[in-house]
Amino acid sequence: MSSAITYQAARTVAPTIEQYFSNLLGTARQHNIPKLATEPSANIIEKIIDTAFWASLQREEGHVIKISIAYLPPEQTKHPVLFLHRLPLTATVLTKLSPGVERPGIHIGVWQEDGELYIWGTTRSIPSLCFVVDVSEPGLMVIKHRRQDGFGKYANVAVLKGDQVKIIDERRTPMDECPGFLTSLLGLRTPSTTIEANILVQLSVSMRAHERGGTLLVVPSDTDKWLNSIVKPMVYSIQPTLSGLARLVQHQEEEMAKGTWQSTLKKEVDALAGLTAIDGATIITDNYKLLAFGAKIGRAIGSSPVDEMILTEPIVGNEEKKLHPAHNSGTRHLSAAQFVHDQRDSLGLVASQDGKFTIFSWSPCKQMVHAHVIDTLLL
């Protein structure tokens, strides 16, 4: 299979990804995790990425290719759609299939026999830690896997765009200062990796998806000090009541018992994230009460301007930087950094129109704002 590889980034990254899945699945087996996926070899990883890359550069009736490829046999899934005849794994076949499988949650199933990869059908169900290659725009491949608990967004392993390769590196993120939902995005199992943390992951993904840019501020529910950092009057302030998302979290056990948790969560998340497209910041409490949207952030009285922050991105080879917030990006980022500098028990989530996504939190250790650039985790 490797002799036909023409996308060199696939060959470069395959051994690293092979080792990642070997370690991940090995650890899971040691903990007796049931129904695990099959471990992919470097040759298989190369071939799938290579084929996905060349498919991503094609068009089907003028439309960009959007596909998700999962490596597993049909026996490891539930209720698959099986083709009567196997199809070869080629860029042309993936392009032809793409219009029917571009909806979220549908995977093209790929397996091998006698050293040859083939497409056996499609599925919505894959086992834990299953190797997946996702293509959503030309030349962009995201390597990911289904989480062990099956809940929430898949964990990203690597992002390839053209000749650029970014390997996710959770070890560069200090756990004692890491926002809980960032550990969830990294696929880490810590006490802070709760369902509530994962909801902020879904909000981040939805904010980024509307492509208008936006700011979401998460403030403590037991204080109104955050008002000192908001310009008055707030035109779109909300009388404090439970939002649809807050009500859902309060009744999550009931929704899960009915089997409606996932679908209802997506609806409520999209409704709240949609408000961030309005100019200004959307403000919620840490228990998801909606307080305002379209709010203007201002420096709190008596506070100093934020003049330095830490900037990190959880990828291999990235180095921590100290810089002025104005050098990071636009006014949204600067205002969110100032807000977190003044309101140190709050979080600022900022999406740019170009897809960049940053979490602003306060670092008690460094005593300054910490900007976590996480768009590679949200793809």
Q: Which of 132, 167, 202 is the last residue of a domain?
A: 167
In a domain, 172, yes or no: no
Confidence of residue 58 (pLDDT cuts 50, 70, 90): very high
In a domain, 330, yes or no: yes
Buried b (16+ CB within 10 A) or exposed e, 93-126: bbbebbeebbeeeebbbbbbeeeebbbbbbbebb
pLDDT given for residue 191 in this prediction: 40
Residues 278-323 have pLDDT tens digits of 999 999 998 888 999 999 999 999 899 999 999 988 888 888 888 8
Q: How far apart are CA 309 and CA 367, in angstroms?
A: 9
Confidence of residue 179 (pLDDT cuts 50, 70, 90): low
Residues 138-175 have pLDDT tens digits of 999 999 998 876 556 788 899 999 888 999 886 555 54
Whether 55 contacts 91, CB under 8 Å:
yes
Are 186 and 273 contained in the same domain?
yes
Q: Which of 167, 201, 233 is the last residue of a domain?
A: 167
End-to-end CA distance of the chain: 28
Better pLDDT: 275 or 184: 275
% residues pLDDT > 70 (the chain) = 90
Residues 213-264 have pLDDT tens digits of 999 999 999 999 999 999 999 889 887 666 788 888 888 788 778 877 778 8
Are 92 and 188 contained in the same domain?
no
Residues 62-83 have pLDDT tens digits of 888 999 999 999 999 999 999 9
Whether 241 contacts 309, CB under 8 Å:
no
Are 97 and 51 contained in the same domain?
yes
pLDDT given for residue 11 in this prediction: 93
- Other C-beta atoms within 10 Å of 173: how many? 18
Are 30 and 138 contained in the same domain?
yes
Are 344 and 248 contained in the same domain?
yes
Task: Tally the domains of the chain.
Answer: 2
Better pLDDT: 353 or 187: 353
Q: How far apart are CA 90 and CA 100, in angstroms?
A: 17
Q: Answer whether residue 340 shows pLDDT above 50.
A: yes
In a domain, 328, yes or no: yes
Are 310 and 276 contained in the same domain?
yes
Are 152 and 275 contained in the same domain?
no
Mean of the per-residue pLDDT values of the chain = 87
pLDDT given for residue 90 in this prediction: 95
Domain containing 117: what range?
A: 2-167
CATH of the domain at 259: 3.40.1700.10
Are 218 and 76 contained in the same domain?
no
Q: Which of 113, 144, 167 is the last residue of a domain?
A: 167
In a domain, 49, yes or no: yes
In a domain, 174, yes or no: no
In a domain, 173, yes or no: no
Are 9 and 141 contained in the same domain?
yes
Are 134 and 49 contained in the same domain?
yes
In a domain, 175, yes or no: no
pLDDT given for residue 193 in this prediction: 43
Are 124 and 197 contained in the same domain?
no
Pair type for strands 155-161 and 164-167: antiparallel
Are 243 and 360 contained in the same domain?
yes
Confidence of residue 112 (pLDDT cuts 50, 70, 90): very high
pLDDT given for residue 63 in this prediction: 85
Question: Is 226 exposed, middle or buried, given 0-12, 13-18 or 19+ CB atoms closer than 10 A?
Answer: buried
Better pLDDT: 268 or 251: 268
pLDDT given for residue 198 in this prediction: 73
